[in-house]
Chains A and B, each alone.
Chain A
């Protein structure tokens, strides 16, 4: 392996944003036919590094070489032209265009008189056959599943004759079984002489596919090991800087059912029944886009069920709106804290009272700004929100601090029911621990918690009962510790539902 030529070489890459050093002298070499895993927490500098490779950022120091040729900095097409293809974590596909159109986008000159769809279709079909990437070229991307979209992204790279594939967190959105299929594709690719950079923080997957691991922390390379010479624990320790211990989860003492979905349908859900009990965390696992959003919207009050009933404390709810949900004592932590959870140009104070301004902070239509400010100050103190003050615009806060303010906003009234939709996505490890401990605290105080996450580790670590959602159907609840990742993966892929019905 070590005799194979180097196809991609990054040397001494340094990139600063103001005082923050995002990349600090990073060097990395990828050989032909090799799979290198790039490991690191959120904020370790992986994304910045890739943005430099693809010319979106210009490095302050260092060089990038592909196949022995230096890439000019700041030219997005240079890496593509040199045969380096990237599959972004957030797919860069246009939903209303077809698979073929998405693949053809940006290939060749813009000024060619014709798209040449016929020849392109034949080539795409050949590629999908050779690499085990099944997808219909004339399907609209908007109608594809997440796994299929990823295949389109890989096809896009292969169509451009990529010799190096870079995949950014490719398995975050896949079932374990889809992940296996992806790995088969990658092995086929490597067998044909391609090289792969695999960015991830899921250690068991890294151990499964990579030949070599490069670990980043705080913008530096802190370790480089052959996968064969290491194990998960050692890698985890390298990644966070110390041995990690998963949070100890005390056994739950489940109480009465506080909220119940009774054969609810609508918005893609099919006869979903779900009990949320006091003092218990229910985890909702599943591949993104299988109905999690609908469950979340339903509990948040954004949508009402088309059929079936929502009951709180044994009574069916009436007119179901977000305001009603808040009034019923539901704490709602939304999936997207930037777009749904906060208003970027509002101050912390204004954001803190978004849900309670009617009841607690105004009288007869007049705002009580003093009370609002006191409330915000209380949250800032008790939830350790790092900020210049309550009158700061929230857009200036980090994701973790933003999430803490949301936590404070919804937990301060002492909710009976908590909806936590992807509560730690994109947070650093400190903030993750904080959010999880707050959820556990609320559980122990008697709240019923619904945790929606695409991260099976998070679900399995925190939940007392796990449901899997697939194509709008909900699996039975599985007690903590009764299912393995593989078992859940089968449910996530839709197996088991027919006989469970």
Chain B
């Protein structure tokens, strides 16, 4: 078989194939439910019910989506410039650590939150800067280094939580002290369990979109991602663009950590992120790396997780079905996107 580019793919092809990928994911979900001895329709219904069926569920989904929007944006920005940042998990924790360092009393006053956010972004950016410098200086593949950094970072956080950052009142648990009141992100509507981290995530998506489409930096990042050789020849400073991309990407991932600590949890523990950094890759790919599409994509992914949690309690299908579904969705989606651009021919 051979792949032949399609000059002008039809609208049906461009819209239909990604939808088919989602359809296939649903079919797979049904099969997995059957495998687990449950009724597929009931299982799917329970997932949807659990994700958006009640006000509480919907808010839970929005809360879960918040860090995913940030990490999804971080991945989308980086992948667009073909910078393979698989280290959003590490950058998230770096942001969380920065937020805790500043938010537990080190600074006070009305500027506490903005300063924390900026410090978090800086910390995340610095964490990604290392692998990117190794890439630009020595040609070391950033996939492996960013992945390895995730493990290093988690151990570092573990050390901090058992040592310098340990809450003296924590009764021996490895967790940080609680943030002071001025360091907490307020709720958007009083009484509703949804914090301003979500609003911040929406703004971030919009800003990233503006950067990508309206600014010279966005143009440079796309050029470097599509063809670094041509970009370099044309005079685009490829390495500098990669560094700027890394700063943006790392900063965005770190905001997820900031938002979780400051908006949701109020302190730092080792289980702050159940793999938000990795899931960000799925969010970004399902959004076709488009910053605005990251929002619905993150909501979808969050809905599956929240829905699967509640379904699992009711139907007895392991909650890991959510992770499997998302992995399938990712693979189906990349294949579908390819097939919008090429057709398979014989010979």
A57 beta carbon closer than 8 Å to chain B: yes
For A357, give its contact among B5, B219, B229, B232 (CB under 8 Å). Answer: B219
A325 and B216 alpha carbons, distance in the complex (Å)? 20
> Chain A interface: which of B13-21, B45-53, B233-241, B305-313?
B233-241
Take A74-B347, A340-B230, A346-B223 as given contacts and tell me if A323 and B214 are in contact as well, using a CB distance cutoff of 8 Å: no
- Nearest-CB distance from B230 to chain A (Å)? 5
Question: Are A300 and B233 neighbours in the complex by a CB distance under 8 Å?
Answer: yes
- Nearest-CB distance from A401 to chain B (Å)? 14
List residues 184-232 of chain B with CB under 8 A from any CB of chain A: 214-219, 222-223, 226-227, 229-232
B171 beta carbon closer than 8 Å to chain A: no
A28 beta carbon closer than 8 Å to chain B: no
A302 beta carbon closer than 8 Å to chain B: yes
Interface flags, A318-332, vs B, CB<8A=1, else 0: 000111011000001
Question: Are A354 and B234 neighbours in the complex by a CB distance under 8 Å?
Answer: yes
A350 and B227 alpha carbons, distance in the complex (Å)? 13
B7 beta carbon closer than 8 Å to chain A: yes
Question: Are B216 and A355 neighbours in the complex by a CB distance under 8 Å?
Answer: no
A366 and B227 alpha carbons, distance in the complex (Å)? 22
Q: Which residues of A contact B217 (CB under 8 A)?
A: 365
Q: Which residues of A contact B222 (CB under 8 A)?
A: 346
A139 and B262 alpha carbons, distance in the complex (Å)? 64
Q: Which residues of A contact B232 (CB under 8 A)?
A: 302, 322
- Nearest-CB distance from A79 to chain B (Å)? 15
A346 and B218 alpha carbons, distance in the complex (Å)? 13
Residue among B229, B231, B232, B235 facing the most chain A CB atoms (10 A cut-off) = B235
- Nearest-CB distance from B218 to chain A (Å)? 8
A345 and B230 alpha carbons, distance in the complex (Å)? 12
- Nearest-CB distance from A478 to chain B (Å)? 30
How many residues in B have their beta carbons less than 8 Å from beta carbons of A? 22
A332 and B232 alpha carbons, distance in the complex (Å)? 13
Q: Which residues of A contact B229 (CB under 8 A)?
A: 339-340
A254 beta carbon closer than 8 Å to chain B: no
Question: Are A367 and B235 neighbours in the complex by a CB distance under 8 Å?
Answer: no
For B233, give its contact among A322, A346, A350, A395 (CB under 8 Å). Answer: A322
Question: Are A340 and B214 neighbours in the complex by a CB distance under 8 Å?
Answer: no
A362 and B223 alpha carbons, distance in the complex (Å)? 15
For A341, give its contact among B223, B230, B236 (CB under 8 Å). Answer: B230
Q: Which residues of B contact A293 (CB under 8 A)?
A: none
Question: Are A340 and B216 neighbours in the complex by a CB distance under 8 Å?
Answer: no
List residues 299-325 of chain A with CB under 8 A from any CB of chain B: 300-302, 321-323, 325
Question: Are A302 and B216 neighbours in the complex by a CB distance under 8 Å?
Answer: no
Q: Which residues of B contact A358 (CB under 8 A)?
A: 216, 235
A301 and B218 alpha carbons, distance in the complex (Å)? 24
Q: Which residues of B contact A341 (CB under 8 A)?
A: 230, 233
Question: Are B230 and A367 neighbours in the complex by a CB distance under 8 Å?
Answer: no
Question: Are A343 and B226 neighbours in the complex by a CB distance under 8 Å?
Answer: yes
List residues 337-351 of chain A with CB under 8 A from any CB of chain B: 339-346, 350
Question: Are B347 and A58 neighbours in the complex by a CB distance under 8 Å?
Answer: yes
Q: Which residues of A contact B234 (CB under 8 A)?
A: 322, 354-355
Q: Which residues of B contact A301 (CB under 8 A)?
A: 235
A396 beta carbon closer than 8 Å to chain B: yes
**Smallest Cβ-Cβ distance to A57: which chain B residue:** B347
Question: Are A365 and B230 neighbours in the complex by a CB distance under 8 Å?
Answer: no
Question: Are B347 and A339 neighbours in the complex by a CB distance under 8 Å?
Answer: no
**Smallest Cβ-Cβ distance to A17: which chain B residue:** B4
- Nearest-CB distance from B115 to chain A (Å)? 25
A354 and B238 alpha carbons, distance in the complex (Å)? 13
Residue among A74, A322, A323 facing the most chain B CB atoms (10 A cut-off) = A322
Take A57-B347, A362-B216 as given contacts and tell me if A396 and B230 are in contact as well, using a CB distance cutoff of 8 Å: no
Q: Which residues of B contact A219 (CB under 8 A)?
A: none
**Smallest Cβ-Cβ distance to B211: which chain A residue:** A365
A322 and B237 alpha carbons, distance in the complex (Å)? 9
A446 beta carbon closer than 8 Å to chain B: no
A325 and B233 alpha carbons, distance in the complex (Å)? 10
Q: Which residues of B contact A354 (CB under 8 A)?
A: 223, 230-231, 234-236
A344 and B216 alpha carbons, distance in the complex (Å)? 19
A334 beta carbon closer than 8 Å to chain B: yes
Question: Are B235 and A321 neighbours in the complex by a CB distance under 8 Å?
Answer: yes
- Nearest-CB distance from A405 to chain B (Å)? 13
Interface flags, B228-269, vs A, CB<8A=1, else 0: 011111111100000000000000000000000000000000
Question: Are B223 and A302 neighbours in the complex by a CB distance under 8 Å?
Answer: no
Q: Which residues of A contact B230 (CB under 8 A)?
A: 339-343, 354
Residue among B216, B218, B222, B226 facing the most chain A CB atoms (10 A cut-off) = B216
Question: Are A323 and B237 neighbours in the complex by a CB distance under 8 Å?
Answer: yes
- Nearest-CB distance from B236 to chain A (Å)? 8
A300 and B217 alpha carbons, distance in the complex (Å)? 23
**Smallest Cβ-Cβ distance to B215: which chain A residue:** A365
List residues 114-155 of chain A with CB under 8 A from any CB of chain B: none
Q: Which residues of B contact A58 (CB under 8 A)?
A: 347
Question: Are B347 and A355 neighbours in the complex by a CB distance under 8 Å?
Answer: no
Q: Which residues of A contact B214 (CB under 8 A)?
A: 366-367
Q: Which residues of A contact B219 (CB under 8 A)?
A: 350, 357, 362, 367
A340 and B7 alpha carbons, distance in the complex (Å)? 22
- Nearest-CB distance from B321 to chain A (Å)? 36
- Nearest-CB distance from B241 to chain A (Å)? 12
A342 and B236 alpha carbons, distance in the complex (Å)? 13
Question: Are B235 and A343 neighbours in the complex by a CB distance under 8 Å?
Answer: no
Q: Which residues of A contact B227 (CB under 8 A)?
A: 339, 342-344
- Nearest-CB distance from A19 to chain B (Å)? 12
Q: Which residues of A contact B215 (CB under 8 A)?
A: 362, 365-367
Q: Which residues of A contact B231 (CB under 8 A)?
A: 343, 354
- Nearest-CB distance from B273 to chain A (Å)? 33
Question: Are B235 and A326 neighbours in the complex by a CB distance under 8 Å?
Answer: yes
Q: Which residues of A contact B236 (CB under 8 A)?
A: 354
Q: Which residues of B contact A334 (CB under 8 A)?
A: 233
Residue among B216, B233, B237 facing the most chain A CB atoms (10 A cut-off) = B233
**Smallest Cβ-Cβ distance to A300: which chain B residue:** B233
CB<8 Å pairs between A and B, sample of 29: A300-B233, A301-B235, A302-B233, A321-B237, A323-B235, A323-B237, A326-B235, A332-B233, A339-B230, A340-B229, A340-B233, A343-B227, A343-B231, A344-B226, A344-B227, A345-B226, A350-B219, A350-B223, A354-B231, A355-B234, A357-B219, A358-B216, A358-B235, A362-B215, A362-B216, A365-B215, A367-B214, A367-B215, A396-B7
Chain A residues within 8 Å of B, Cβ to Cβ: 57-58, 74, 300-302, 321-323, 325-326, 332, 334, 339-346, 350, 354-355, 357-358, 362, 365-367, 395-396
Nearest first, the 4 A-B pairs at minimum CB distance are A323-B235, A354-B234, A322-B235, A362-B216
A325-B235, A340-B230 given; name 20 further pairs at CB < 8 Å.
A58-B347, A74-B347, A302-B233, A321-B237, A339-B227, A339-B229, A340-B229, A341-B233, A342-B227, A343-B231, A344-B226, A345-B226, A350-B223, A354-B223, A354-B230, A355-B234, A355-B235, A362-B219, A365-B216, A366-B216
